[in-house]
Amino acid sequence: MISQYIVNGLLTGGLYACLAVGFSLVWGVLNVVNMLHGSMVVLGAYFCLYGVQQLGLPLYAVAPVACVILFVFGYAIQRGLLNRVITQPILITLTLTFGLDLIVNNLIIHVFSATPQSLVTNFGTIEFAGVRVPVVRVGGMLVAVVLTLVLYWLLRHSKIGRAIIAVRMDRHAAALMGIRIPHIYALTFGIGAFMAGAAGCAMALIYPVTPMMSGVFLGKAFVICVLGGLGSVPGAIIGGLVLGVVEGLGTLTLGQQWATSVGFIMMMAVIVLFPTGIMGKKGYE
Amino acid sequence: MTKATTPVLELKSVSRLFEGIRAVDNVSLKLYAGEIVGLIGPNGAGKTTLVNLISGFLSVSSGDVIFDGASITHKKPHVIAQSGIARTFQIVQPFAKMTVLENVMAGAIYAGHRGMVQARDKAIECLEFTKLAHLKDMPASELALANRKRLELAKSLAMNPRVLMLDEVNAGLNSSEIDEAIRMIRSIAATGITIVVIEHLMRVVTALAERTVVLHHGAVASEGPTDEVMRDPKVIEAYLGNKFAQRFAETSGAPVARPA
Amino acid sequence: MIIDRAFALKIAFGVLLFACGAGLSAVLDNYYLQVGTTLAMLCALCWAWNIVGGYMGYPALCMISFFGIGAYAGGIAQAAGVSESLAWLIAAGVGALFALLLGVPLLRLKGHYFAVGTIASVEVLREVANNWEQLTGGAVGLNLPIHAGSPDEVGRFFYLAMLGLAFLAFLITALVDRTKFGFGLRCIRQNEQAASMVGIDVFKYKVGAFVLTGVLGAATGAIYASMVAFLEPKDAFNLIMTIEIPVMVMLGGMGTIFGPLIGGVSYVILKEFVWAYFINWHSGILGLIVVTVIYFLPVGVLGLTWRDIFKKLGASKSTRPATSDIARSTS
Ligand SMILES: Nc1ncnc2c1ncn2[C@@H]1O[C@H](COP(=O)(O)OP(=O)(O)O)[C@@H](O)[C@H]1O
Ligand SMILES: [Mg+2]
């Protein structure tokens, strides 16, 4: 019984990691809390659904295209809109992305529709040691985790990835080193959108997705990002898995309706208990 | 100047560790009313850290700080400020978007214990003293460096301090600005305020301080009348390194220490 | 307290405005009374938020937590048989207590963490209201006793009640603007370290401001609850509204006495006007308004001086911020 919940939690957690990693990267590197992230996940899911159901294309062809469209969308939003206010106080950037979220979400409802949609997939289930899991969930989770790991590898080993990390650590020094900050910002936001799209595609395979779910997705991203640490890819994976399992166990002990609250309360506890670790060092000179 | 028998401010074996490094190492000091004390030492000697410890911005790892006969060792910065210890920041910290007048008023209101109206009068008085009165309605962020340093001074003065610690208020100023600052600091001390001048420029310290304390690696390397301290071989060593100290000792009887 | 002519004029103007508002209640029909009540409610919330968000400069996104807590506290009290006015007082007290409990941990945080912590409080409270059915009636909702009287009388009563609360919030703002307390908040907004250096008890001031905001928000919520006589978690803890309030204040000018009023009124007019023509695009239009406000009035109507406007016009010619500009911005 417990093992079933833990396995379910881990499977969900893998998806969560993919869902949160882009949000975390944007927060860590750009210092922007991207309220638009949830809608980008939904957008990814809907592109995927549209390609498969309306155009009749195979999933493996549609999903990458959906992600790339989101990358372009994210790059454009950052380059065209967010870069202009990136030096403003937090309240401004947060509110701006919230406004954009309202617009995008409204557009999704109009262009697609508000009714829940899901890809009808049945790849059967596998059973192991008394734990039953649908194959599609394992697949979705694996794809999500592998993508997240690829992102991690790219950040460490590609030229652009290292530039992103340099900007995250010290943007002033990075600028002096000749890194084009506006471009790096836009790339980072684009990557965040790409990962959101990937998470959306994986979600569409498993859950019926509606535009209303953007808030839920955003909430998960918040929690994971705070649990795992800003802008940290491994942190997002760990945070995602922890959240998945904690929600699973919360469901088991308190009931389904409390699962989300448990995550939020855990996040608030982390924020409150580790303010210095999160706020960084203080200096008085 | 005759010294009162009880010090205004006394440090008893104060130490502060940063991840194992002793930034301030077992420092004991006594400051008396109305005197100007120089605090010198090479970069990283622990001068700013010492100011932070006294003003409560950092907590001491061990030791005791006594102000006016009572321990202020673990008091919060605002309590210490209200009780009469003011400090300036080495990197100036103005309320950037408030006017010059408002900046100084802030000092007069809280630590100076005044109502808004009296605080405004006091602030104008302090601005006149520091020759900033003509800039009083300008946002603090628009001041030039020399004036920002003076603003820090005016703000601290408005607090009615008994002890005033000036952390490199003259760094980055030109020669005539420094002369002006020296005059100001002298006349502040004449009102009975105890002043600690932290400086890199020996010329300022020799001009102002009767007594000087030298910090090196967080510990007091030398202490005494300023001119004697300046001739102390240990001070020269602290500033210029061992070899230079030896050479100075060989070639000249009375070298004067200069910053590294 | 420094009272100069400009300030005295502002207060006189404000008092006159509220007196006119109260006088209008005799002639307005029910529809306009309702619009006026909503307006007064939003302005009260804006003034309340302005203390923490404007004067103190903390990105508090929990205005609706205070509002909802007050609504439920007053609602539950009234449903239990407590009289309306006492229920409002209880709600204000609960609001103060809640703000204290939330503020003490959250006000140690800065920037995004503070913002996220405050938003999370809205989510947590909504979930609690949804799930704690014995207390709140859960998702089904909570019914309150209906205020007795003819629709016109009831409409007028709640209009005047909201207006009175907005007036109170206005007066408190005027005090904050001119007293030692408000001056300290402005110092904190600029530089907390320097604020403690001049002797300001920074943490106490921050908690004090948060509690003041909380009390006003909760009182507003309680009056709202009595007025609508029915509470649902998704209404009482509405995430959109928790961001709309700061947007309104931004529109009018943060940290000013009249900013919340100007912002609240123009935002409501803007919204009503646009919504009337685009029924299906409510949230999209709202988003557009938010984005427009951010782009074109980042300091708000009252925060802009003529000098700023000229600077802005000059700056807008170079469309993109220089790399060094972006690089200079720190967390
Ligand atoms: N907040 C801090 N954390 C860690 N080390 C610090 C901190 N502040 C100062 N130090 C260290 O303490 C030593 C003394 O620094 P400081 O007091 O600034 O020197 P000074 O003002 O004499 O130049 C230096 O080695 C510095 O690196
Ligand atoms: Mg120093």
Q: Is residue C301 part of a domain?
A: no
CB contacts of B57 in chain A (<8 Å) are 284
Amino acid at A142: L
pLDDT score at C314: 58
d(CA A48, CA A59): 7
Query: Distance, in angstroms, between A175 CA and closest chain C CA?
Result: 6
Domain layout of chain B by residue ranges: 1-84+163-260, 91-160
d(CA C130, CA C174): 38
Least confident segment among A104-108, C157-161, C283-287: C283-287
Which residue's CA lies nearest to atom 12 of ligand 1? B23
Check whether C276 has a pLDDT greater than 80. Answer: no
d(CA A201, CA A216): 16
pLDDT score at A130: 72
Phi, psi (deg, nearest 5) at residue C258: -95, -5
d(CA B178, CA B186): 12
Least confident segment among A220-224, C266-270, C296-300: C296-300
pLDDT score at A10: 86
pLDDT score at B120: 92
Say which of B89, B98, B110 has its CB closest to residue C199. Answer: B110
Q: Is residue C92 part of a domain?
A: yes
Give A188 or C213, the one with higher predicted confidence: C213
pLDDT tens digit string along C2-59?
778 888 888 999 999 999 988 998 888 888 899 999 999 999 999 999 999 999 999 9
Residues found in chain B = 260
| C1 and B CB contact within 8 Å | yes
Report the percentage of chain B scoring pLDDT > 70.
Answer: 90
Q: Which chain residues have CB less than 5 Å from ligand 2, an ion?
A: B 48, 90
The answer to whether the CB atoms of A285 and B58 lie below 8 A apart is: no
| Average pLDDT of every residue of chain A | 83
The pair of three-digit structure tokens given for residue C195, joined into one six-digit string: 């604020």
| Average pLDDT of every residue of chain B | 86
Check whether A279 has a pLDDT greater than 50. Answer: no
Least confident segment among A268-277, C43-52, C147-156: A268-277
Amino acid at C257: I
Give B233 or C317, the one with higher predicted confidence: B233
d(CA B24, CA B17): 7
Q: What's the pLDDT band for A270 if we cut at 50, 70, 90?
A: confident
Give A117 or C112, the one with higher predicted confidence: C112
> Nearest bound ligand to CA B58?
1
CB contacts of B90 in chain A (<8 Å) are 285
Mean pLDDT of B78-83: 94
Check whether B188 has a pLDDT greater than 70. Answer: yes
Mean pLDDT of B64-77: 92
Residues with CB under 6 A from ligand 1: A 283; B 18, 23, 41, 43-49
Highest-pLDDT range among A173-177, C209-213, C270-274: C209-213
**DSSP bridge pairs for B223:** B213
Question: Among all residues of chain A, which has the CA nearest to that of C244?
Answer: A95
Q: Write down the CATH number for the domain with range B1-84+163-260.
A: 3.40.50.300
Q: Residue B66's closest CA among B7, B4, B3?
A: B7
Check whether C303 has a pLDDT greater than 90. Answer: no
| C108 and A CB contact within 8 Å | yes
Mean pLDDT of B198-223: 87
| Average pLDDT of every residue of chain C | 86
Check whether C321 has a pLDDT greater than 80. Answer: no
Interface test with C, best of B72, B104, B109 (most C CBs within 10 A): B109
Least confident segment among B44-48, C151-155, C158-162, C295-299: C295-299
Alpha helices in chain A (DSSP H): 2-30, 37-49, 59-77, 83-85, 90-111, 135-157, 159-169, 171-176, 181-206, 214-228, 233-254, 259-273, 275-279
SS3 A118: coil
For chain A, positions 193-232, list CB contacts with chain B under 8 A.
Answer: none
Least confident segment among A100-109, A138-147, B49-58: A138-147
pLDDT tens digit string along A201-259?
888 888 888 888 888 899 889 888 888 877 778 888 888 988 988 888 888 888 777 77
Report the percentage of chain B scoring pLDDT > 90.
Answer: 48
Mutate to test the pocket of ligand 1, among A276, A279, A285 (most ligand atoms within 8 A of CB): A285
Check whether B36 has a pLDDT greater than 50. Answer: yes
Report the percentage of chain A scoring pLDDT > 90.
Answer: 16
Which residue's CA lies nearest to atom 24 of ligand 1? B44
Interface test with C, best of B78, B118, B152 (most C CBs within 10 A): B78
Q: Is residue A154 part of a domain?
A: yes
Check whether A142 has a pLDDT greater than 90. Answer: no
The answer to whether the CB atoms of A279 and C128 lie below 8 A apart is: no
Mean pLDDT of A23-38: 88
| A276 and B CB contact within 8 Å | no
pLDDT score at C87: 94
Q: Which chains touch B (3+ CB pairs under 8 A)?
A: A, C
pLDDT score at B177: 86
| A277 and C CB contact within 8 Å | no
Tell me the residue range of the domain where A118 lies: 2-273
The answer to whether the CB atoms of C294 and A265 lie below 8 A apart is: no
Q: In Å, how far are A82, C118, C172 from C246, measured between CA atoms?
A: 19, 13, 18
For B127-157, letters b (16+ CB in 10 Å) and e give bebbebbebbeebbeebeebbbbbbbbbbbb
pLDDT score at A285: 34
> Nearest bound ligand to CA B90?
2
Tell me the residue range of the domain where C149 lies: 5-239
Say which of C124, C280, C284 has its CB closest to residue A102. Answer: C284
DSSP per residue over A152-205, as a string? HHHHHHSHHHHHHHHHHH-HHHHHHTT--HHHHHHHHHHHHHHHHHHHHHHHHH
pLDDT score at C68: 96
Q: Are the beta carbons of A7 and A69 closer than 8 angstroms?
A: no
d(CA A218, CA C169): 34
Mean pLDDT of C142-161: 88
Interface test with C, best of B51, B59, B93 (most C CBs within 10 A): B93
pLDDT score at C218: 97
Report the percentage of chain C scoring pLDDT > 70.
Answer: 89
pLDDT score at C331: 31
Check whether B78 has a pLDDT greater than 90. Answer: yes
Q: What's the pLDDT band for B114 if we cut at 50, 70, 90?
A: confident
Query: Distance, in angstroms, between C323 CA and closest chain A CA?
Result: 6
**DSSP bridge pairs for B37:** B196, B211
pLDDT score at C135: 86
pLDDT score at B76: 94
d(CA B251, CA C5): 72
- Tally of domains within chain A: 1
Question: Domain of A47: which CATH number?
Answer: 1.10.3470
CB contacts of A284 in chain B (<8 Å) are 48, 52, 57-58, 89
Least confident segment among A61-70, B174-183, C180-189, C267-276: C267-276
pLDDT score at B257: 47
d(CA C166, CA C220): 9
CB contacts of A101 in chain C (<8 Å) are 287
Check whether B89 has a pLDDT greater than 50. Answer: yes
The pair of three-digit structure tokens given for residue C73, joined into one six-digit string: 């506290």
The pair of three-digit structure tokens given for residue A115, joined into one six-digit string: 């009714």
Question: Among all residues of chain C, which has the CA nearest to that of A179?
Answer: C323
Q: Is residue A134 part of a domain?
A: yes
Q: What is the pTM of this model?
A: 0.86
Mutate to test the pocket of ligand 1, among B15, B18, B165 (most ligand atoms within 8 A of CB): B18
Check whether C312 has a pLDDT greater than 80. Answer: no
Mean pLDDT of C281-286: 83
CA A52 remoteness from chain centre: 22
Gyration radius of chain B over CA positions: 18
The answer to whether the CB atoms of C190 and B98 lie below 8 A apart is: yes
Atom of ligand 1 nearest to the CA of B52: 17
d(CA A154, CA A176): 23
Chain A / chain B CB contacts < 8 angstroms: 10
Residue C279's Cβ-count burial label (10 Å; 0-12, 13-18, 19+) is exposed
pLDDT score at B65: 94
The pair of three-digit structure tokens given for residue B113, joined into one six-digit string: 């214990």
Give B86 or A126, the one with higher predicted confidence: B86
d(CA C120, CA C136): 20
> Nearest bound ligand to CA B46?
1
Q: Is residue C249 part of a domain?
A: no
d(CA A199, CA A159): 25
Give C207 or A25, the one with higher predicted confidence: C207
